Amino acid sequence: MKNRSFTLLLAIAVAIQLQAQYNPYQTQQPTDWSGTGWMLNKGYVVTNNHVAENARTIVLKFQVGDSIVQYSGEVALQDPENDLALIRINDPKFKGFGKLPYALKTQTADVGESVFVLGYPMTDTMGDEIKLTTGIVSSLSGYQGGKNQYQISAPVQPGNSGGPLFDENGNIIGIVNAKHSGAENVSYAVKATHLQTLVSKLSDKGGVLPTSSDLQGLNLPQKVKKVKGLVCFIHCSTRGETPRSATPKYGVPTVPKGSKIVENPYVDFTHADAHTRIRKVTLTDKETIIEISATDETTNSNSHYICINEETYIRVNGETYRMKKAEGIAIFPKETTFPKNGGTITFRLIFPAIPKATTSLDLIEPGDSDWQYYGISLKEY
């Protein structure tokens, strides 16, 4: 796939998402990962989109007193642009937590305001107790001056993804989602106004957002005691049934009954960077469909775009099958432009049908393209 003006030099990348507890630059997403979330009303939980994305099963663990209670959840709504997601608790055991003691504050914070963060960072090495860090609002803009984030000095780590950012009065003013790997104590949080916008898209949006805080006037230890049971550890896995997800721009295709679907397939080898991933391979009686996502991680102001060579093919047991069409990506010399720096494009490549008993295939864009994948496993785990 031709990827002009879109060179990724991961060795000098300076901003990283806090993709819970795995390396976001590895070739394929692992089976299990984790992050942080926190309660809204009506059984909704807030986290980052990069935590919830591609999860087939989601388990939410809350510390209630001396006990841990856990509930199953499902993705209800996603906002990839602002890295936000809403999870709906769908567990019959869940009866709610009563009135929430905090409120969402959408007015812009002031530089110098005291803030604190709660979350579950790096539990493999730091333990599974909730962690508190404190700091100030350092800037009203985020990475590369992005207006959708605050810069904060509170330290955060992988696993803090999706955690709440509180002001000194106990209002939630943001959602933690990134840190700066090239600087000390430079972290980022998505501003609460974007969560308000996402909630407004729910069909049952009334009463979802908490509107009053009981925390003003309490000292920090008292605030933490009142809210920590509403901040949860989120465990996600690719095992289980196919997840609910945001509708791709090309629409949700109808998959015939009896089709074979492999989510996030393992790849033996590829030159492609980790910001381009094979998300799904679908084998039907008439077609072979490969779904791919590509994220623009460049940092300059040039226009960034991608396109696909019409000669692209898949190879199975030495036999080649040329691409029939593409959806969501332009055929060279036409171009598909990323919406903005950091945007993601999801697209599908359609090939002739191959035997459903096939255990692996190669995906090759000819020429000097890095988008060549060898040993794409079609085994269902």
pLDDT value of residue 3? 39
Q: Which residues are within 8 A (CB) of 136 and not within 5 positions of it... i.e. 6 or more apart?
A: 111, 112, 113, 114, 115, 152, 153, 154
Domain of 272 in residue numbering reads as: 260-377
* Residues 264 and 231 occupy one common structural domain: no
pLDDT value of residue 21? 40
Place of tokens 């020429």: 367
* Residues 212 and 271 occupy one common structural domain: no
Alpha-carbon span 34 to 358, nearest angstrom: 32
- Looking at the 3D structure of the chain, how many domains does it have? 2
Q: What is the CATH number of the domain that holds 90?
A: 2.40.10.120
Mean pLDDT per 10-residue run, the chain (381 residues)? 30 40 41 92 95 89 92 92 93 91 96 97 91 97 90 94 96 94 88 95 91 94 96 87 42 65 88 84 93 74 75 94 91 78 80 92 92 89 53
Residue 252 lies in a domain: no
Residue 146 lies in a domain: yes
Alpha-carbon span 188 to 139, nearest angstrom: 10
pLDDT value of residue 187? 93
Backbone φ and ψ for 333, nearest 5 degrees, come out as: -90, 0
pLDDT value of residue 43? 95
* Residues 196 and 279 occupy one common structural domain: no
pLDDT value of residue 204? 85
* Residues 193 and 341 occupy one common structural domain: no
Element (H, E) at 308: none
Place of tokens 């030495």: 318
Alpha-carbon span 198 to 81, nearest angstrom: 11
pLDDT value of residue 301? 47
pLDDT value of residue 298? 60
Residue 102 lies in a domain: yes
Residue 10 lies in a domain: no
Decide which of 202, 237, 272 is a domain's last residue.
237
The two structure tokens encoding residue 205: 């949006």
CA distances from residue 325 to 114, 166, 255, 261, 321 in whole angstroms, order as listed:
54, 49, 17, 19, 12
Residue 3 lies in a domain: no
Residue 182 lies in a domain: yes
* Residues 68 and 130 occupy one common structural domain: yes
* Residues 272 and 212 occupy one common structural domain: no
pTM of the model: 0.61
**Nearest by Cα to 326 from 340, 298, 345, 341:** 345
CA distances from residue 75 to 180, 252, 316 in whole angstroms, order as listed:
28, 16, 35
- Residue pair 299/144 in contact (Cβ under 8 Å)? The answer is yes
